Chain A
Amino acid sequence: MERSDRKIGFLSAVPITVILMLSFTAPLLVVLLFSVMPPKVFTLANVPDFSSYGVLISQGYYRSLLWSLGTALAATVLLFLICWPLAFAMAKVFKGFTLFITVAVVITLFVSENIRLFGWVLTLMKGGLIEGHLRAWVGWSFEGALYNVPVIIFGLVYVYFPFMLFPLVQGISMVPDDARQAAADLGATRRQIFWEVDLPLSAPGIVIGSLLTFVLGAGALAESKLLGGQAVIVIADEIETAFTYGQNWPLGSALSIILIFIIGSLAVFGVSRVDLDKIMGRRR
């Protein structure tokens, strides 16, 4: 009986496995193969060489990579600091209001990221919502807040807010109230409760939220293009350029593979350290 169950389970998993292999693994494989082709070729029928990887150093692509990782890291840290108090309140303090915030945050996801970022462009640009009003009302004029690194980070924080908030809420709601009360009862101050109880017990949520925002932030493109006006070039931008204007697929592939490798190892490291069963609410 159990054996036939297992067989049925295997058979029913076959179609989705095949689809995933074709749609997910195959393109990655193509990218991997292109990354070891000589520059500016459009077929895989060439003698492999690793020259595209060398360009990372010689032509300064590593700077774009560092900008991407740096802005993503800054956004992740800021998001954690911003989201923790709100997530704590949503998990432990607010009751019906939590649902309201959840719905409000989720609704913003219904509008495309680019449209929302354009909204910020119109708000922050010279002659936009803020500068224009200030100039008209109090005659104070300035250059607008766009086209610099902080506004890129702001864009990342804005766009990836839900991806930090909701895992944190999940994580914090896993901290039992009586563990916090017991810590207080045993003499712990609020700060000590935070370090000794809240932080370690909500670690799965923190890791998931940080991974999501960092991974998405490192591959983000629209923020630096729309808000940053390419004040800095991020790696995703370089990859896009390599595949389009540059007509250099092997270069684009090599950059992609490097990004995938860095983010992939971070993700594997992070996920291996958290108990996913626990965050899904299945206690062992």
Chain B
Amino acid sequence: MPPEPILRLEDIVKRFGAFTALHHIDLEIDEGEFLTIVGPSGCGKTTLIRLLVGIDEPTEGRIWLRDKRIEKVPANLRPTCMVFQSLALFPHRSVGENIEFPLKIRGETASRRKERALELLDLLHLPHDFYDKRINQCSGGERQRIALARALAFDPEILFFDEPLSALDFRLRKKLEKELKDLHERTGKTFVYITHSLEEAMVMSDRIAIMRQGRFEQIAVTDEIYARPITRFVAEFMGEVNLFDVERTASGGLLGRGVEIHINGTGETMDLTLAQGTRGALMVRPESVRFLGPGQTADFIVRGILRAYYALGSRTQYKVESSEGIELAVEKLRQDRFTGNVGDEVVLGFDVENTHMIRER
């Protein structure tokens, strides 16, 4: 039996005056999953999360929390809570008072509150002496954890995150991403995270929803989003990608611009189906492209000139300009790196099993 959706959005529209921020959105969030909503700035993801949390109301549509309609329920009466982008910690309260805030609101006794606050400090790997610290004595990463502890003290059914890691430096962000995923596993709660960072989404999520201009472009498990995007936007958003325009000719073969196609048959069995006379984009990720030596062959071949290379630490990325003027990205692990020079003529190849067809709609 598939898990029950804990939250269901039906036909949500949000308008601000003449501007429509969300266009008829549907979404189901499963109990206990880690869903990340990713999109460029201005795509409507912050608007959406404000509706989910209850800070704003949708113009149209329904939000169900299990079997209860909640789109008109104000934030303070919803059993969900959010970690704000700014964290929104209370600067005039100590760390302990911040964490205890939801418990105080609920009228729990001081001793019970402190007990719970100390438990949460443990859970988030903060020493107990933080209890009496002031917020402005804490570093960015510590504040992050305090905000998280405060949200967990509320014991929400769903925990929302509005890009809380975006202000942190790279290393700390990477560390906290993993901690957050770990915390998700330990608490078993439903996490809904929004971010503009694809890497952040990939590291943490079970499922990713890609948003663009107030609509969902694709909602799928992380690997599928990466390997089988359904639009060019998703493909390009999910990291470096090489796309070739292809069409199905009247004779039944595939014709590509900038790529020689050496496959038998029509590719029907290989996820490369394309209806007669329609166009598509053949996608291959940079790590699936190889440099071909003399005599080697591949299902798809591109000839070009090596224009540049960039060391990325564990990997090296190459820019190759094809004879048709298309720029391609190739990535190799450091130990497999290509030893050519900039300006060399190179032959690139990749195979059917690493490709994916994005059909134009």
A residues neighboring B (CB under 8 Å): 176, 178-179, 181-189, 192, 196-197, 200-201, 284
Contacts and interface: CB of A to CB of B under 8 A. Distances in A.
21 contacts: A176-B88, A179-B89, A179-B90, A179-B91, A181-B84, A182-B84, A182-B88, A184-B74, A185-B54, A185-B75, A185-B81, A185-B82, A186-B81, A186-B102, A186-B150, A186-B154, A187-B77, A187-B154, A188-B105, A201-B90, A201-B92
A192 B91 CA distance: 17
B86 interface: yes
B312 interface: no
B23 to A, nearest CB: 25
Nearest to B81: A185
Contacts of B85: 178
A185 B55 contact: yes
Contacts of B90: 179, 182-183, 196-197, 201
Nearest to A200: B92
A261 B148 CA distance: 49
A281 to B, nearest CB: 15
Contacts of A192: 105
Contact of B76 (A178, A185, A196, A201): A185
Nearest to A192: B105
A187 B84 contact: no
B166 interface: no
Contacts of B76: 184-189
Interface of B: 53-55, 74-77, 81-82, 84-86, 88-92, 101-102, 104-106, 136, 150-151, 154
Nearest to B106: A187
B102 to A, nearest CB: 4
Given A181-B84, A185-B75, 10 more contacts: A181-B75, A182-B88, A183-B90, A186-B81, A186-B105, A186-B151, A187-B102, A196-B90, A196-B101, A201-B90
B233 to A, nearest CB: 30
A200 B136 CA distance: 16
Contacts of A187: 76-77, 102, 105-106, 154
Contacts, number: 60
A177 to B, nearest CB: 9
A95 to B, nearest CB: 14
Contacts of A178: 84-86, 88
A187 B105 CA distance: 7
Contact of B101 (A176, A186, A189, A200): A186
A204 to B, nearest CB: 11
Nearest to B154: A186
Contacts of A188: 76, 101, 105
A84 B154 CA distance: 30
Contacts of A197: 90
Contacts of A182: 82, 84, 88, 90
B268 to A, nearest CB: 52
Contacts of A184: 55, 74-76
Contact of A179 (B77, B82, B88, B104): B88
Contacts of B91: 179, 201
B115 to A, nearest CB: 18
B55 A181 contact: yes
Contacts of B75: 181, 184-185
A181 B53 CA distance: 10
Nearest to A193: B76
With a 10 A CB-CB cut-off, give which of A179, A186, A196 has the most chain B CB atoms: A186
The 4 A-B residue pairs whose C-beta atoms are closest, nearest first, are A182-B88, A178-B88, A186-B102, A184-B76
A17 to B, nearest CB: 34
Contacts of B89: 179
A185 B75 CA distance: 5
Interface centre among A182, A184, A187 (most CB of B within 10 A): A182
Contacts of B86: 176, 178
Contacts of A185: 53-55, 75-76, 81-82
A173 to B, nearest CB: 15
A189 B74 CA distance: 10
A181 B102 CA distance: 13
Nearest to A284: B136
A185 B86 CA distance: 14
A242 B150 CA distance: 62
Contacts of B105: 186-188, 192, 196
A184 B102 CA distance: 10
A201 B92 CA distance: 7
B307 to A, nearest CB: 46
Contacts of A176: 86, 88
